[in-house]
Amino acid sequence: MADGPAAKICNSGLLTAALNNYWRISVIETVWISWEEQQGLKRLAESFKEFDDETLFSSLSSLKEQVKNILSPETFAALTGFMPGERNILRVNGLPFDYNVKETPYTGYVDNADLPIASVMQFAVFAACGIFPISYLRENKGLLFRHVVPTRKRAKRVSSHGSALTLDMHVSNPILPIIPEETNNVSGSPEILSFYGIRPDPDVFTEVVELDEVLQQLEQRVIDELCEKKYYFRMPSSFNGDELKGPLAILGIKDGMYYNRTDMDTVIPVDYPALVSLNIFMEATKKVKHYHRLQLPPGDMLLFKNQRTLHSRQKFVARYNGLDRWMVRLYGSANMARHHAADESKRYLGLTY
């Protein structure tokens, strides 16, 4: 963990401070885009001629100004206030979306130009929020957009491209440094994770819980154990490779706020007490008062602070009929000093292990 007592200590006083604003957990904040705003955003998307990652990333500054001119002051303020604010989850309803959408891509990959409006809209929302889209070397081929779809090749793997197995509650890219830790020469774990709806399945939900609500159920001895570097992690399924990283702590704290790295499908505790504490922690995710189960119709976008939440998806039966569930995932960071570029010509592409 980073130097300084706030980053090293997990105690009951700090936990109390972290939970003082528990009231905020009850309802997901939703930004409602009006019809007039939607039409303006659609015209903005239609003004783009190129949709590759580099072009979109280089357009962030201009996108922010254009979005500011399109949205009402209240709508724009709701977006800009998300990152510095206390809420961990934000839903944006009513964004423009592509009408002529091809069949669900069972390879798992699609050219950005095949979803021109969706591609621009995700960048537009990130720009307004002050979030930089990021990707990682060795993960998802280094591409910014990952298409969350069932594929035949990975159907029986615990993966965003899987379907037959449940994705348990987890944090994306837990092998990478979380916010209380120094990054050194490797990029940090994503600060933000977003999903944009392309094609929903009425039987499949994205499930999200907030870390503070999980921790409220735990005894201090369990929290203390989770703060110890007693856990190894395998590379996530979206990465190339299967090596172990660690030992790492599940929990870290900075400025009185807890952050976590959790993935039951890839974590290996070093001893029995560490295993017991991890199981207690994961069981607590099922007992939170506000267990959010969400579906995203076309044009809805869900953003959440990756290390301040946990998310999951239950197993489901893929039909492979061209109309299976389809969302687009995008990682983000508000602090690019924690994202070390693998290629300066692609500032968004971060170094990993």
d(CA 34, CA 48) in angstroms, rounded, equals 22
Spatial contact of 148 and 327, defined as CB atoms under 8 Å apart: yes
Spatial contact of 120 and 57, defined as CB atoms under 8 Å apart: no
Identify the band that residue 160 occupies on the pLDDT scale cut at 50, 70 and 90: confident
Lowest-confidence region among 63-67, 80-84, 287-291: 287-291
For the whole prediction, is pTM greater than 0.75? Answer: yes
339: closest CA among 209, 144, 56?
A: 144
**Which pLDDT score is estimated for 334?**
97
d(CA 222, CA 207) in angstroms, rounded, equals 24
d(CA 67, CA 212) in angstroms, rounded, equals 32
Share of the chain above pLDDT 90, in %: 80
User: What's the DSSP call for residue 236?
Assistant: P
| Mean pLDDT of all residues in 107-129 | 98
Spatial contact of 225 and 273, defined as CB atoms under 8 Å apart: yes
Q: pLDDT tens digits for 244-281? A: 999 999 999 999 999 999 998 899 999 999 999 999 99
d(CA 42, CA 93) in angstroms, rounded, equals 14
Taking the CA atoms of residue 324, residue 199, residue 130 and residue 212 in that order, the dihedral angle to the nearest 10 degrees is -70
d(CA 41, CA 36) in angstroms, rounded, equals 9
| Mean pLDDT of all residues in 210-223 | 97
pLDDT at 287 over 70: yes
Domain boundaries, the chain: 5-350
Spatial contact of 289 and 227, defined as CB atoms under 8 Å apart: no
Spatial contact of 101 and 199, defined as CB atoms under 8 Å apart: yes
d(CA 309, CA 335) in angstroms, rounded, equals 18
pLDDT at 23 over 50: no
Identify the band that residue 24 occupies on the pLDDT scale cut at 50, 70 and 90: very low
pLDDT at 101 over 80: yes
Q: pLDDT tens digits for 44-59? A: 999 999 999 999 999 9
| Mean pLDDT of all residues in 176-196 | 97
**Which pLDDT score is estimated for 11?**
56
Which residues face 195 on adjacent strands?
A: 302, 329
Fold of 5-350: Double-stranded beta-helix (3.60.130)
pLDDT at 348 over 90: yes
Share of the chain above pLDDT 70, in %: 90
Q: pLDDT tens digits for 224-236? A: 999 999 999 998 7
Taking the CA atoms of residue 55, residue 61, residue 66 and residue 71 in that order, the dihedral angle to the nearest 10 degrees is 120
Name the token pair of 194: 């977003």
79: closest CA among 57, 96, 55, 95?
A: 95
**What is the dihedral sign for C-alpha 184, 134, 314, 241?**
negative
Q: What is the mean pLDDT of the chain?
A: 91
Residue found by looking up tokens 């990478």 in the block: 176
Name the token pair of 122: 């995700």
